[in-house]
Structure 1
Amino acid sequence: MFLIINMRNSNGKINWNIFLGMEYERGLFKFEWIPKFLPHILNLKEKYITNDLTITSKFKSSFTWTLYDFMKGHYGYWHKEMSKVDLLKLFSVEGVSSYKDSAQFKRGVLDVAIREINQYTELEAWYVEKKKGRAIVGFDLHWSVASKQETAATENQLKEITTIIDAVEADMWNYLEELGEMDLEKLHLMNIIQKVLKCRVEVTTTLTSTKANEILQRLKGHLCSLQSQLDDARRKKDITSKPNYVPFYNWLDEHE
Structure 2
Amino acid sequence: MKNNIVVKDNALINASYNLDLAEQRLILLAIVEARQSGKGINANDPLVVHADNYANQFNVHKNTAYATLKSACHALFSRQFSYQQGSADNIEYVKSRWVSEIRYIENEGIVKLIFAPAIVPLITRLEKHFTKYELEQISNLSSAYAIRLYELLVSWRSTGETPVYKLNDFRKILGVKETDYPIISDLKKRVLDISIKQLNEHTDITVQYEQHKKGRSISGFSFTFKQKKVMKASSSSDEISAKNAFSKMTEKQRFLFANKLAELPEMSQYSQGTESYDQFAIRIAEMLKDYQKFEKILPNLKKVGFQIR
TM range (shorter): 0.3 to 0.5
TM-score (norm 2): 0.38
- When Rg is computed on C-alpha atoms for both structures, the one with the higher figure is 1
TM-score (norm 1): 0.44
Report which structure shows greater RCO (CA 8 Å, sep ≥6): 2
Return the structure number with greater helix share.
1
